[in-house]
């Protein structure tokens, strides 16, 4: 079959579009859309990780405030005990006051070590929050870049776009070529395939060297057929 090389490209586009149209019915996801979906999910995960890190800091800050309030209460109780001890003369009262002073001091010591530990923890939690915020900023930046790339990418053709384009190509090519394409397509569901120099894009078989040489050596306006599946080959 003979066809002008520029029209061969159109015929291949028709065959490729028709195969896509009939195999999936729906446009495959563009790499830009896939990247945007990935960035959207990563951003959502990082937002939730950052919220969790912020909550941990907030909880620990409240814990420190609680400890500090307890500390103030214990210190004032100690001061009160000491004041009462200066005035008290009754041995039993003094004994009770000394006992309470001892217990309160001991509780204060426990509380102070709890406070020191809480300060260590909040330091680690704040570092963790800084890191989470940095990662969130990175994820936001990656999302913006993916969104911009998606917006800049050409729209993926819809089924209606493909039908329109197929009709357009059919009208622009000679009727006998279209008839030969349809006949071959009825036979092997491909019709016309790309030849990449080694294998047929219809059956994906790497052809023997002799067939490859014959296909490569055919005139530019010739559409050789795949010796395996019969598809007309457009050399790309």
DSSP secondary structure string for all residues of 39-55? HHHHHHHHHHHHHHHHH
Q: How many residues interact with Zn ion (rule CB under 5 A)?
A: 7
Q: Name the minimum Å distance from CB 170 to Zn ion.
A: 23
DSSP secondary structure string for all residues of 211-222? HHHHHHHS-TTB
Q: Residue 202, interface with Zn ion (CB under 5 A)?
A: yes
Of the pair 57, 203, the CB lying nearest Zn ion is at 203
Q: Residue 229, interface with Zn ion (CB under 5 A)?
A: yes
Q: Which of 36, 56, 226, 234 binds Zn ion (CB under 5 A)?
A: 226
**Interface with Zn ion by CB under 5 A: which range of 18-26, 89-97, 152-160, 203-211?**
203-211
Q: Residue 191, interface with Zn ion (CB under 5 A)?
A: no
Rounded to an integer, what distance in angstroms lies between the CA atom of residue 192 and that of residue 46? 48
Q: Residue 15, interface with Zn ion (CB under 5 A)?
A: no
Rounded to an integer, what distance in angstroms lies between the CA atom of residue 23 and that of residue 20? 5
Rounded to an integer, what distance in angstroms lies between the CA atom of residue 120 and that of residue 13? 66
Rounded to an integer, what distance in angstroms lies between the CA atom of residue 25 and that of residue 171? 22
Q: Which of 203, 211, 218, 222 binds Zn ion (CB under 5 A)?
A: 203
Burial of 132 by CB count in 10 Å (0-12 exposed, 13-18 middle, 19+ buried)? Answer: buried
Q: Name the minimum Å distance from CB 169 to Zn ion.
A: 21
Q: Name the minimum Å distance from CB 205 to Zn ion.
A: 6
Q: Name the minimum Å distance from CB 200 to Zn ion.
A: 3
Rounded to an integer, what distance in angstroms lies between the CA atom of residue 225 and that of residue 222? 10
Q: Residue 11, interface with Zn ion (CB under 5 A)?
A: no
**Interface with Zn ion by CB under 5 A: which range of 11-19, 81-89, 131-139, 228-236?**
228-236
Own/partner contacts of 18-21, CB < 8 Å, gap of 24 or more, are: 18/166, 18/185, 18/191, 19/189, 19/190, 20/162, 21/159, 21/162, 21/163, 21/166
Note the residues at the interface with Zn ion (CB under 5 A): 200, 202-203, 226, 228-229, 231
């Amino acid at each position: 079959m003979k066809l002008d090389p520029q029209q061969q490209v159109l015929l291949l586009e028709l065959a490729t579009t028709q195969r896509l149209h009939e195999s999936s019915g729906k446009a495959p996801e563009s790499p830009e859309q896939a990247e945007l979906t990935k960035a959207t999910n990563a951003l959502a995960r990082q937002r939730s990780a950052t919220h969790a890190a912020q909550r941990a800091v907030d909880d620990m800050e409240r814990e420190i405030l609680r400890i500090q309030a307890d500390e103030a209460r214990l210190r004032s109780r100690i001061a009160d005990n000491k004041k009462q001890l200066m005035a008290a003369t009754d041995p039993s009262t003094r004994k009770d006051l000394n006992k309470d002073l001892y217990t309160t001091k001991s509780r204060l010591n426990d509380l102070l070590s709890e406070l020191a530990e809480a300060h260590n923890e909040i330091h680690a939690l704040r570092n963790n929050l800084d890191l989470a915020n940095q990662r969130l900023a990175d994820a936001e930046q990656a999302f913006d870049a993916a969104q911009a790339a998606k917006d800049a990418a050409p729209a993926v053709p819809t089924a209606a776009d493909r039908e329109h384009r197929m009709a357009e190509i059919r009208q622009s090519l000679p009727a006998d070529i279209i008839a030969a394409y349809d006949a071959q397509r009825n036979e092997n569901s491909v019709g016309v395939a790309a030849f990449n120099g080694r294998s047929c894009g219809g059956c994906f078989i790497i052809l023997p060297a002799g067939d490859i040489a014959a296909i490569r050596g055919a005139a530019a306006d010739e559409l050789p057929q795949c010796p395996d599946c019969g598809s007309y080959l457009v050399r790309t």
